[in-house]
Amino acid sequence: MKLLSFNVNSINAYLKKDLLHEWISENPDLIGFEELKMSETTHENFPLSLDGYTPYWTVSKVKKGYSGTAILTKIKPLNVHYGLLDGKYDEEGRATTLEFDDFYFVTLYTPNSGEELKRLSFRMQFEEDLREYLSQLKAKKSVIVTGDLNVAHNEIDLKNPSTNHHSAGFTDEERREFQKLLDLGFVDTFRALHPEEKKYSYWSYFRNARKTNAGWRIDYMLVTEDLFPKVTRSKILNDCFGSDHCPVLLEIDFSQNN
């Protein structure tokens, strides 16, 4: 099974660039999208129609053209859930979850702590609520978590760590929260398979960051520890363009026994 995640930084803007061919050949079974930037007026008609896929998505209810997450699936889900526990954070379209026979697939767009870290306290509460939500899912079956988690975990995960210790996405607080998520029983599949590789999934639009590869690895494929032995590939598709992020890909062989 192949799973792909991509922060498209506006699904409509991305589709106008006609770049699906850069990753669609991977033929993923599940596709997570983040930062849709769709408004409620377009909610009834998802702008990307792919043969064999059914879309499930949520948009921000508090600010049009902001945030939003989606999952396109070839496999009919048992259940669909938006937001975290009791739908919390769905007002910003932060999470979409599909339940299947053997696992949950959760696509997240974690809140950015913002300029001058003005939303850091909001972000910290989100992290606590996320762990509670994932703990409840994990108690039932395996979980795959993907999306833009808006944190570079370690210094290897961004080009210029020394100048970013007080920047959103690399504060000590955010990095500690990510470690708590791993300690809950999740594996960062890319780093586990590529412990020394420097590869990024996000580049600012400023200062030619992508051209100089001054990037950050903030897009993830996490799996519960029981699933990790089944992972055969975890890859960052940084030759794909059209957004300030690039897709990340996970391949799992569910036929393997642990």
Active-site residue set: 109, 148
Return d(Cα 188, Cα 138) in angstroms, integer: 16
Tokens found for residue 82 = 């938006």
Question: Are 106 and 137 spatial neighbours (Cβ–Cβ below 8 Å)?
Answer: yes
Maximum C-alpha span of the chain: 48
Tokens found for residue 87 = 């739908």
User: Among residues 253, 207, 206, 202, which one has the least CA distance to residue 227?
Assistant: 253
Cα 26 versus chain centre, distance: 18
Return d(Cα 216, Cα 237) in angstroms, integer: 14
